[in-house]
Amino acid sequence: MKNLLSKTVFEKAEKKLKELLFPVKLCEVNVRLPNNKMIYAKTFKGVVRTDTNHIFSVVSDDYKLITNEEAINLGKKIFNLLFKNINVDEIKPYRVIHSNSYGLCSIQLVHESVNFMVFQQDEWLPFIQVSNSYNKAVSLKFDLGFVRKLCLNGMIYKKDTVEIKLNHNKNVKFDLKIKSGLRNFENTSIAFSSKLQKLKEINFDKSYLVPLTCKIFNLDFALEPDWIKNSTLDRYEIERKIEKDRKEFVVLNDLINWLSDEYFSSLGDNMYAALNVLTDLVSNHPYKVKKLKQFSQRSDFYFYRPTEWMIDMHERNFDDNNNLDEYLGEYLKYQNYYEKNRFNFFPN
């Protein structure tokens, strides 16, 4: 919220990016047998950070090491192929996400001159997300996304819609793979604005935001004994689970209500405001949502979910005549749940 894409944002991202540009190389692997004899594993290599000797993974001999620096340069190349007549040196990161071990990272690149207005004074910028890993968590891949300049709310297009994916394999021909994936990138960029405009035309009651969030991010809170799907738990385990889930639900509920007050007052009671709540949740509050066990997967995974919802609404031709209760289904149980039960939420 009101976290403008600014010089400070770029400086923080550049500083974080430098932490990812450490030296790494493929090293020989030796194996100690049960009899303490050492043998050379000739068909394997270790991916090693050479300034600390940290071993990220052991890979096969046909593995192609792609450093984070090389991955970023490829991302800039793709950006320049999509958006011509720009200075490649002015393409820069505004958001950098990495694992604690630095074995996995995602870098989102933008160029400030490449932007478009969806509504009056509502500017968006396309970005290329570069994902790379040394621990075999992901292949090298490039996703197309869009970020709202006013608040840094970002969203990435659905994996099976727009993605260039390159395996760490010596036999992969990078230029051919990149060229074949560019058409999807271009088509998606054109369609994005019209989908946002459609969302703003659809009325939305913000009391549905909590159940909508749970549905989109596939969140399941056991707030009552009969909501627990695993019937093998004993009474003590059930009580502990309910208490834990209620605490996490309150955190999420309060955060969503806080965000909705801002967006619905400035954008109106519509689905575009709801989309901004969802994208703000994952873009600007990663450390808060990571504390919830429900958000235990990689945070960048959740950048896809709001986009999938937007596309789903478009494909359903959803409008004011559709039944939101029917769409939300079982997730309706979360609507105003805390507000109705706050006085006996934690009986002890």
* pLDDT, tens only, 29-65: 999 999 999 999 999 999 999 999 999 999 998 898 9
Flag the least confident range among 14-18, 86-90, 300-304, 318-322. Answer: 300-304
271 and 324 assigned to the same domain: yes
221 and 308 assigned to the same domain: yes
Mean pLDDT of 231-236: 77
Mention every residue, 6+ apart, whose C-beta is less than 8 A from residue 110: 5, 91, 92, 93, 94, 125, 126, 127, 147
Mean pLDDT of 340-346: 71
Residue type for position 180? S
Domain coverage including residue 263: 201-344
The verdict on residue 101 lying in a domain is yes
148 and 236 assigned to the same domain: no
Flag the least confident range among 8-12, 70-74, 228-232, 323-327. Answer: 228-232
pTM: 0.83
Check the CA dihedral 182-129-10-3 and report its sign.
positive
81 and 218 assigned to the same domain: no
Domain boundary among 164, 198, 232: 198
223 and 307 assigned to the same domain: yes
Residue-wise pLDDT tens digits, 65-102:
999 999 999 999 888 888 888 899 999 999 998 988 99
Helices (H), the chain: 7-18, 68-82, 174-200, 209-216, 235-267, 271-284, 286-290, 304-315, 324-328, 337-341
Mean pLDDT score of the chain: 84
**Residue 147 pLDDT exceeds 80:** yes
Domain boundary among 198, 225, 244: 198
CA-to-CA distance for 20 and 105, rounded, in angstroms?
8
191 and 220 assigned to the same domain: no
The verdict on residue 127 lying in a domain is yes
Domain count, the chain: 2
Flag the least confident range among 110-124, 135-149, 172-186, 273-287. Answer: 172-186
CA-to-CA distance for 286 and 2, rounded, in angstroms?
16
The verdict on residue 142 lying in a domain is yes
Mean pLDDT of 269-298: 79
322 and 269 assigned to the same domain: yes
